[in-house]
Amino acid sequence: MRCRLAVALALIAAPLSAQNGAARLPGRVPAAALPAIDSIIATAVAESLPTEPLVQKALEGSAKNIPAGRLVSAVRRSLLQLRQARVIVTHAVPGQPVPEGHVASVAAALARGLTGPIVERLLAMAPNEPPGPALHAAADLVAHHFNPDSATNLLVEAHSKGLRGVRLLDVAVAADHELQRGGGRTPAEALAHVRAMLPNVPAPEAAVTRHGTQGS
């Protein structure tokens, strides 16, 4: 019962947590780190960068009892990553307003190890779609040691054949399954196999998201 009540409380708490970012920090973040973090967030506001990733990093570090100095450094690094992300978005999709969601997604993709050119290709592939799924699909493939350019080619082709949003994650899952299938299949062969089945990559079996095992 305890967990059921906890889930209920979590769901009630969610709208509260959606309030103004920095208002969530006092009382959670160590007093020694708060002025510096406030200043970093104020900089992000002034630069029209999203602030939620910075607030989350501060809350995360505080929950993990990270010392104030390292906490501030991590939040500052997140700001630098957001700046880098905006440059990439501006370059990839010139002539369009830069949505904050795009910047945050790109910063997350950079944190996962995707390079600027790969991110730019995926943004240019679908400039008006939320880039999160495509970027995570690419990061999944790269994390599983697929060649970054070949993996991106596969995702661009999947997109051109009509796969959108979370269906791009299925492409990454399918490639990984092909690689795991054994028989000495190389990553390049696994990608070629998935390319041949496009756009009919398997969808997740259950209606419940389970990280890593079911669906995405």
Closest approach of Cβ 148 to other proteins, in Å? Answer: 16
Cα 170 to Cα 49: distance, rounded to the nearest angstrom: 31
Whichever of 105 and 152 has its CB closer to other proteins, that residue is 105
Whichever of 99 and 153 has its CB closer to other proteins, that residue is 99
Angle between helices 34-46 and 68-92 (to 10 degrees): 10
Closest approach of Cβ 64 to other proteins, in Å? Answer: 6
Closest approach of Cβ 204 to other proteins, in Å? Answer: 7
Residue 148, preceding bond cis, omega within 30 degrees?
no
With tokens 């992300």, the residue in question is 85
**What is the residue type of 134?**
A
Whichever of 3 and 31 has its CB closer to other proteins, that residue is 3
Cα 156 to Cα 132: distance, rounded to the nearest angstrom: 14
Whichever of 168 and 194 has its CB closer to other proteins, that residue is 168
Whichever of 24 and 185 has its CB closer to other proteins, that residue is 24
Closest approach of Cβ 189 to other proteins, in Å? Answer: 22
With tokens 């080619």, the residue in question is 153
Whichever of 16 and 196 has its CB closer to other proteins, that residue is 16
The encoded tokens of residue 175 equal 């490639």
Cβ atoms of residues 121 and 161 within 8 Å: no
Closest approach of Cβ 152 to other proteins, in Å? Answer: 18
In the chain the first and final C-alpha atoms are separated, in Å, by 29
Tell me the chain's radius of gyration from C-alpha atoms: 20
Nearest to 110 by CA among 134, 130, 135: 135
Closest approach of Cβ 147 to other proteins, in Å? Answer: 19
